[in-house]
């Protein structure tokens, strides 16, 4: 089979399409012929050697995708050859064939395309647990979304709006501001505008008391996120795209009755039933039109270096897919 591989860490040019042996599924695994593969920033970090990689060189990136079951080994969990499935946390996805543990295989309904599944699962499941578990958004809430034009940010805006919230987003440029507004944000501020975004967000909120919750994936902005939330408000910390946050003084949390909570997707997807239930909720939102995806940028698997350059440029607002 063909796979996108690399033997050393480095720039996108280290990625090459190469013929390698097919994976041998073990008991309780299925062999999936890939139809669409999601590209994520974690793949860039792994290519550069910043994140842990499974296996030894030649390394294969990719953790998210969708395809067709080709073979089943042992207990299939009801899956059969020919079934359409997707996954978001299985290594070595940048290949024509992937061995997928049955408990991580998500059945794909006939009306959801491979491209939709590979575009929505990782980021969509993240947004889903954030608005349902980390801070349960209620009708009438006002929430702040950092990086609102990013993959998770756009989905967060839509899911929060779907739960009846007013949403104010933060972006770094005017073009990204327009993307966040298209995703449903009621207002969008630029990080670098005159004045401070935390004060502007607070002024935007009802009565100027501050938003109910702030979803912070930037990290270095954490203290300012607390400035933007009201007394008894919540800050959800789920990423460090801008760098490590400064320590939070627990006395501030006590004095202002504010809550800091963390979020990590893998603490919320611990069983196959959880994966399927949350995925079906996303698929239902796609059907209903309450969740909309920007058209993905699609590259052939052999164009992996080109796809990596695009995601690193941050010029793309939709999902980037690799197509075997």
Q: Which CATH number goes with the domain that contains 278?
A: 3.90.180.10
**Contact in structure between 59 and 143 (CB atoms under 8 Å):** no
- Residue 131 counted as domain residue: no
CA torsion sign for 26, 29, 30, 32 is negative
Q: Let me know whether 166 and 253 are in one domain.
A: yes
Range of the domain at 101: 2-121+268-323
Average pLDDT, the chain: 95
Q: Same domain, yes or no, for 115 and 34?
A: yes
Enclosing H/E stretch for 72: strand 64-73
**Backbone phi, psi, residue 289, to 5°:** 85, 5
Same domain, 163 and 111: no
201 shares a domain with 99: no
In whole angstroms, give the CA distance from residue 212 to residue 230: 6
Per-residue pLDDT of the chain (324 residues; tens, 9 = 90+): 999 999 999 999 999 999 999 999 999 999 999 999 999 999 999 999 988 888 889 999 999 999 999 999 887 678 999 999 999 999 999 999 999 999 999 999 999 999 999 999 999 999 999 999 999 999 999 999 999 999 999 999 999 999 999 999 999 999 999 999 999 999 999 998 757 999 999 999 999 999 999 999 999 999 999 999 999 999 999 999 889 999 999 999 999 999 999 999 999 999 999 999 999 999 999 999 999 998 999 999 999 999 999 999 877 778 999 999
154-163 pLDDT tens trace? 999 999 999 9
- Give the tens place of pLDDT for each residue, 304-324: 999 999 999 877 778 999 999
| Structural domains of the chain, count | 2
Say if residue 58 is in the same domain as residue 113. Answer: yes
Is residue 112 a part of any domain in this protein? yes
* DSSP secondary structure string for all residues of 4-42: EEESS--SGGG-EEEE-PPP---TTEEEEEEEEEEE-HH
Phi, psi of 84 (to 5 degrees): -95, 130
d(CA 304, CA 297): 12
- Same domain? For 274 and 225 the reply is no
């Amino acid at each position: 089979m063909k796979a996108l591989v690399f033997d050393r860490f480095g720039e996108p040019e280290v990625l090459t399409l190469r013929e390698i042996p097919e994976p041998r599924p073990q008991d309780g695994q299925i062999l999936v012929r890939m139809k669409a593969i999601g590209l994520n920033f974690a793949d860039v970090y792994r290519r550069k050697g910043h994140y842990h990689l499974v296996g030894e060189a030649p390394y294969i990136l990719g953790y998210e995708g969708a395809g067709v079951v080709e073979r089943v080994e042992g207990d299939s969990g009801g899956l059969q050859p020919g079934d359409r499935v997707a996954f978001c946390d299985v290594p070595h996805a940048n290949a024509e064939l992937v061995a997928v543990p049955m408990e991580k295989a998500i059945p794909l309904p006939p009306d959801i395309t491979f491209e939709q599944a590979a575009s929505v699962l990782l980021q969509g499941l993240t947004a889903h647990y954030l608005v349902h578990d980390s801070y349960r958004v209620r009708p009438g809430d006002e929430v702040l979304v950092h990086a609102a034009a990013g993959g998770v940010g756009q989905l967060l805006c839509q899911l929060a709006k779907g739960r009846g919230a007013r949403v104010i987003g933060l972006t770094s440029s005017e073009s990204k501001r327009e993307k966040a507004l298209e995703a449903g944000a009621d207002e969008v501020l630029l990080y670098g505008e005159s004045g401070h975004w935390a004060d502007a967000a607070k002024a935007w909120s009802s009565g100027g008391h501050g938003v109910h919750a702030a979803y912070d994936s930037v990290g270095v902005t954490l203290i300012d996120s607390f400035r933007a939330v009201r007394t008894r408000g919540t800050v959800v910390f789920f990423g460090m795209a801008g760098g490590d946050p400064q320590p939070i003084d627990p006395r501030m949390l006590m004095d202002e009755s504010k809550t800091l909570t963390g979020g990590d997707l893998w603490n919320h997807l611990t069983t196959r039933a959880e994966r399927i239930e949350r995925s079906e909720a996303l698929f239902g939102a796609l059907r209903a039109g309450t969740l909309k995806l920007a058209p993905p940028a699609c590259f052939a698997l052999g164009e992996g270096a080109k796809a990596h350059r695009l995601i690193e440029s941050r010029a793309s607002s939709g999902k980037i897919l690799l197509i075997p």
